[in-house]
Structures are given as C-alpha cells and as structure tokens.
Amino acid sequence: MSQRLNMKKLIPEGYKAILAMDTFLSASPLKKSHKDLIDIRTAQINGCAYCMDMHNRTALQHGESLQRLFVLSGWREAGLFSDEEKVILAMTEEITLIHQHGLSEETYQLALHHFDETYIAYLITAILSINALTRVGVSTHMRVPVVAAEHKQ
C-alpha cells in the first residue's frame, strides 16, 4: 500500500486547521497521560499505524510503561488502569465508535464522578481531534517511518 497525497503540502491551511484542536489542547489542563491514552486507543480503533507509532513513542517519553501500552486494547481486563483512566478509555471508544450508540449516559455519569464539566469538554475535544487526525492518516496511507536502529528482519 503506497502513501497517497500529502494534505500538509497540498492544502497547508486546511491541514493547519485540522491540527488546530491538537495545538489548542497542548496548552490545556488536560493531563499528558490522559491525552496519550486517548490518542493511542483512538489510533488502535481506527487502524492508523502512523498514529499508533507516533503516540506510543510520545507516551513512552511522558513516562508511560511498556506493559500498559502492550495491553491497552484490552484495558478492561488488564487491571492496570485506574477508574479515572477506564472512564477516559470508555469515552474514547464510545465517541470514536459513535455509530454504535455514542457517549452513553452511564459513561457520561461516571465521567462526572471523576471530572468537572470543563475537563470533560477537554476530553471530548481530545477525542474529536485525534479522530480527525487518524482519519487523515488512514485515508492518505501515511507511512510509519522506519527507524534503522530499530528495524529487524
């Protein structure tokens, strides 16, 4: 599968607009660990290898453990995530898979138990942002960069 068009080069202002939410979030009170979980889980759901690679690397730089990254897609069974993180991951899945039923009342109420409405708004914005970016990655077949020292055949 070859990489398709490069939106950043073809329509730089449009691509900049897509990135604007993520830029906004970088200066928000959203915890880096929360954003990392959202980014990685969304990339997994949407099948964006480019985003999975990038956001796993970022999470490691932020101090995330390899063990938690290895089992993130099985977070419900892993026993490695806090109740707060489980709510964030449930929100991420329900909003990313919005065609199934959207953000359920149960998950929203759990979120209110852990966060105030403003923080929930930031979480939703983070989920929307990475969904847009992963869809760009999948639609354009963005390639995972091969790092020579890490490449083993």
In a domain, 13, yes or no: no
Number of domains comprising the chain: 1
* Contact predicate 36/123, CB 8 Å: no
Work out the pLDDT band at 2, boundaries 50, 70, 90: confident
CB atoms within 10 A of CB 88: 28
pTM, to two decimals: 0.91
| CA atoms of 140 and 69, how far apart (whole Å) | 25
* Domain housing 103: 30-142
3-state helix, strand, coil in the chain (%, to 5): 70, 0, 30
Q: What is the CATH number of the domain that holds 43?
A: 1.20.1290.10
| The pLDDT of residue 153 is above 90 | no
| Mean of pLDDT values over 139-148 | 82
| The pLDDT of residue 19 is above 70 | yes
| The pLDDT of residue 22 is above 70 | yes
In a domain, 76, yes or no: yes
| CA atoms of 46 and 16, how far apart (whole Å) | 21
Work out the pLDDT band at 4, boundaries 50, 70, 90: confident
